[in-house]
Structure 1
Amino acid sequence: MPVELNEEHDEERFEGQLSHALHDLGGGFDTDRTALAAAGRARGHRLRLRRRAAVAGGAAGIALVGVGGALLVPWGGAAEPLPSSSSVAEQPSKTPAVTGGRLIEALEGLLPKGKFSAQEARGADEGPLMLPYVRLVYDDGKGPGAVAVSLNRIEPGSDQARETTACPDKALVPHDDCDSTRLPDGSLLKLFRGYEYPDRRVDTKLWSADLITPTGQHISVSEWNAAAEKDAPVSRSEPPLSTGQLKDLVTAKVWRGYVDSIPEDPKKPTASATPGHETAEPPTTEAVLGTLQALLPKNIKVVEKGRDYTYVVLDDGKGRSYLQIDVQRGMGDAAGELFGDGAETLPDGTKVGFRASGGDKGVAGAVMWTVDTLRTDGFRVVVSAFNAATQHDAPSRETPALTEEQLRKIALSPEWEQYR
């Protein structure tokens, strides 16, 4: 999937895990979020870096995931909400490929009594490059609500599996409730209750459930309190299914059989580890934040920092300011996408760029400053500062706590050399 650097497009990419999946589905639930690709640990890591590159290049965050993974990519494990078609099948199908009609029939049969409309589905019989999904509008008599299910495979025990079922940081993804548990059969289950838009500019609620079984079957369910994910008025106070009903739906055995029916991609590349930075373990969140804090001006206090994500919240006595950083290896081939013809090149070949934007779309007065640097060996350090305590809050000050020069000094510090 090509890396895109459209600012408004990227700013919407962080708002819901299943919405990431639905991005590939098209139709009435089309969304402007990103579905990332990950085929194998090494390839997945590289694509994760590309995702971070795109987001940091023009959005209000450094690879911040939405509900299913991460808004701002954590060094302890960044989120890729959806594998690409090349990783759809990890094993040959042993059952007949499920059709779209069967998926619609299954979803309607599993929902409580009510009226159904706007049914749409894609079956596994349409080929290995197409992930199965089903979506419809369900009305239990209290107003219509959209419900969708997508099916996939994820390598069990992988970073991607853990990230998909991990609850997001509330500082990055505002939500009301999230619970991640391991079921008696060893499956990982995440139940999430949040919002379609983090800034709440429209009060559309998004509730979702993700299940990953010990054999890597991934079932993702999402529902809204409107007849469509976007561009539809709120039609009820809450989505139609309770948390318990969401759990029942996502754990229904029928979905696991349908995942097994996904045919293998005959063109799927075999994973092969190659020496170099891509196979090296990335630095931990703790290490990156430790280095960052040592580089901050002495008159600025760190009042909050991420546990799984590389960000801090600063306070210089004039209001809080959110600061995020990402340290990436192997980004040399993305130089053309990250830096234009007007980018500065230092005597040692390091490229430096500065971008000023309005941060999250819909937040009046938001300011985001980003300094992006790329060494000749593909080592990248990018740091962004906001004039608010989070990426989605209203501004708490006129400009970020750090100046462009201070951000530049941090990004170009030789202290980052230890992570190359």
Structure 2
Amino acid sequence: MNLHDRITQDLDRTDRAGPDIARLTAHARSRGRRLTLLRRAAATGVTLATIAIGGVVLVASPWDDGRSSTEGTVATDPTDPTAPVSAEPGTGPATARGAVAALVSALGDVTDAPTSAYVGQDPRAELGDRDYYAQVRLEDDGGPANVEINVQFDGGFSGGCTETMDECSSTRLPDGATLTSYVLTGDKTPGDIRSVAELVRVDGVRVVVVATNSITRPGVGTYVTRREPPLTGDQIRSIVQQDYWDEELPVVFLDAGVTLEPFRAAAS
């Protein structure tokens, strides 16, 4: 029995005989099939340490030594009754780790490629800064590349195309938000391509998702690793429009991010 089957069996067993998870299940479905995505994330080797309602999956893959994200995988027994359980369906203040877990889940809805090299920046509440940032390394047959999300508040953002954006298109959505897609090419790194989806909501929140064809390592720099970014425009637009990008994130992501490894805090 593979890891995915074991986790699925454990989740089904918990549904039948475990703690009352009806509220969690209903909430997860209303937030965009979170439980299903977390199961998929576990199946692809993602480090989501607290799987929604039971089971722990740890991926011990050093993020900065050039190895494949699937090397060195270690998993605990998902049927272990002592494994952490998240039965609270609410939300809580966003954290860098929670944002990474949410990004991994959103990626799981559009690709089966494994992820690693988790990076994030917490909101700086002491400075009145509510913005947060998350980055993961996505690795498919084309090679590794970074995918990033930045959630920003109180910036007076207007959205739309500018002269610095290549292949730009902008659409006003039925809810009044402005969705803009474009491509940026790197001035500092020749060959660097950044495919961007930007959502400016009517509540003033700006969400930006970037898929690159490069990776960045601290103290080394950014270098191109593949011909094109690993995600299409439709895929990054799907991620940027998820409804949970806000000052608070669902507890299922906050819990999953607590022991997520390998994780690095981004420089402020």
TM-score, normalization by structure 2:
0.52
Cα 1:192/1:241, change in 2 over 3 Å: same
- The 2-side partners of 1:132 and 1:126 are apart by 11
Cα 1:130/1:254, change in 2 over 3 Å: closer
Cα shift at 1:136 = 1.6
Q: Which of 214, 217, 231 is 1:226 aligned to?
A: 214
Q: Which of 95, 98, 114 is 1:99 aligned to?
A: 95
CA displacement, residues 164-202 of structure 1 (integer Å, 9 cap, x when unaligned): x22122xxx3x54001111111101111112022xx860
1:367-382 residue pairs with structure 2 within 5 A? none
Structure 2 unaligned segments of length 5 or more: list them.
Answer: 1-63, 65-89, 251-268
Q: Which has the higher contact order (CA 8 A, sep 6+)?
A: 2
What is residue 123 of structure 1 aligned with on the other side? 122
- 8 Å contact 1:99–1:125 — kept in the other structure? no
Percent pairwise identity = 24
What is residue 205 of structure 1 aligned with on the other side? 193
* Structure 1 residue 132 corresponds to structure 2 residue 132: yes
Q: Give the residue type in structure 1 aligned to 2:100.
A: I
1:20-419 residue pairs with structure 2 within 5 A? 96-111=92-107, 112-124=111-123, 127=126, 128-129=128-129, 131-154=131-154, 160-162=156-158, 165-169=159-163, 173=164, 175-197=165-187, 202-228=190-216, 231-256=221-246, 258=248
CA displacement, residues 233-273 of structure 1 (integer Å, 9 cap, x when unaligned): 3211111110001100100111136389xxxxxxxxxxxxx
Cα shift at 1:150 = 1.0
Aligned structure 1 segments of 4 or more residues deviating by more than 2 angstroms: 122-131, 228-233, 256-260
- The 1-side partners of 2:133 and 2:181 are apart by 19
- The 2-side partners of 1:254 and 1:223 are apart by 19
- The 2-side partners of 1:217 and 1:138 are apart by 26
- The 2-side partners of 1:212 and 1:142 are apart by 31
Cα 1:176/1:124, change in 2 over 3 Å: closer
- The 2-side partners of 1:103 and 1:119 are apart by 10
Q: Give the residue type in structure 2 aligned to 1:105.
A: A
1:256 counterpart SS class: coil
TM-score, normalization by structure 1:
0.34
Cα shift at 1:114 = 1.6
1:108 counterpart SS class: helix
Structure 1 unaligned segments of length 5 or more: list them.
Answer: 1-27, 29-93, 261-420
- 8 Å contact 2:133–2:149 — kept in the other structure? yes
Cα 1:153/1:259, change in 2 over 3 Å: farther
- 8 Å contact 1:98–1:125 — kept in the other structure? no
CA displacement, residues 200-230 of structure 1 (integer Å, 9 cap, x when unaligned): 8601101111111111121111121011299
Q: Give the residue type in structure 2 aligned to 1:167.
A: C
CA RMSD in angstroms, aligned pairs only:
3.0
2:93 counterpart SS class: coil
- The 2-side partners of 1:201 and 1:253 are apart by 33
What is residue 325 of structure 1 aligned with on the other side? none
- The 1-side partners of 2:193 and 2:178 are apart by 23
Find the structure with the greater CA-based Rg: 1
- The 2-side partners of 1:207 and 1:201 are apart by 15
The number of residues matched between the two structures is 157
Q: Give the residue type in structure 2 aligned to 1:115.
A: P
- The 1-side partners of 2:215 and 2:232 are apart by 17
2:136 counterpart SS class: strand
1:245 counterpart SS class: helix
- The 2-side partners of 1:258 and 1:124 are apart by 11
1:232 counterpart SS class: strand
1:219 counterpart SS class: strand
- 8 Å contact 1:218–1:259 — kept in the other structure? no
Structure number with the higher strand fraction is: 2
1:124 counterpart SS class: coil
2:181 counterpart SS class: strand
- The 1-side partners of 2:133 and 2:180 are apart by 19
- The 1-side partners of 2:189 and 2:116 are apart by 27
